[in-house]
């Protein structure tokens, strides 16, 4: 399957919103994504297949750290490695921008995401109590070193 990854554009937001709405119990609004396009710390990528947006991922970059804000793949395209491809895009870009670490929050019940992050070298560093307001679920905080010396491990490749 051919997939192109590029920076998110304003025109992508309706398709992103459709994926967002079927992926999360409390989806971001289109305005939230518009605001992120104006955020000087934010960078977002989209995955395109046959002229259709099928996934997206974003992060904030500041003080040598990357903080993953969101990642989602359209339900029809899950389980095909697109999440890993998008995460590797974030990791590579963050590394190019000088980030040494990447942090994210994830629902402990989201086993596919946990497995993905662990395969990329993320480790548990803490909890955020009642982080997900709509379900009162805690968030697991995970971190990974992404400095240049960790580039092979970050891509989820065998050592």
105 catalytically annotated: yes
Phi and psi dihedrals of 15, rounded to 5? Answer: -70, -40
Annotated active-site residue in 20, 50, 117, 131: 117
| Beta-sheet strand order (sheet of 123-132) | 4-7, 42-49, 52-62, 65-73, 101-106, 137-145, 123-132
Spatial separation of the C-alpha atoms in residues 66 and 41, rounded to whole Å: 9
Annotated active-site residue in 65, 105, 132, 137: 105
Contact between 106 and 91 under an 8 Å Cβ cutoff? The reply is no
Spatial separation of the C-alpha atoms in residues 20 and 1, rounded to whole Å: 22
Active-site residue list: 105, 117
């Amino acid at each position: 399957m051919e997939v192109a990854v590029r920076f998110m554009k304003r025109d992508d937001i309706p398709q992103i919103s459709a994926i967002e709405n079927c992926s999360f119990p409390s989806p971001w609004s289109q305005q939230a994504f518009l605001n992120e396009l104006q955020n000087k710390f934010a960078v977002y990528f989209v995955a395109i297949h046959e002229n259709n947006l099928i996934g997206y991922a974003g992060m904030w970059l500041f003080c040598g750290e990357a903080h993953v804000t969101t990642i989602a793949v359209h339900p029809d395209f899950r389980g095909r490695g697109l999440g890993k491809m998008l995460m590797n895009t974030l990791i590579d870009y963050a590394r190019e921008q000088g980030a040494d670490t990447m942090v994210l929050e994830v629902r402990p019940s989201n086993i596919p995401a946990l497995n993905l992050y662990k395969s990329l070298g993320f480790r548990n560093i803490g909890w955020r109590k009642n982080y997900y307001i709509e379900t009162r679920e805690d968030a697991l905080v995970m971190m990974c070193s992404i400095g240049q010396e960790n580039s092979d491990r970050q891509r989820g490749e065998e050592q």
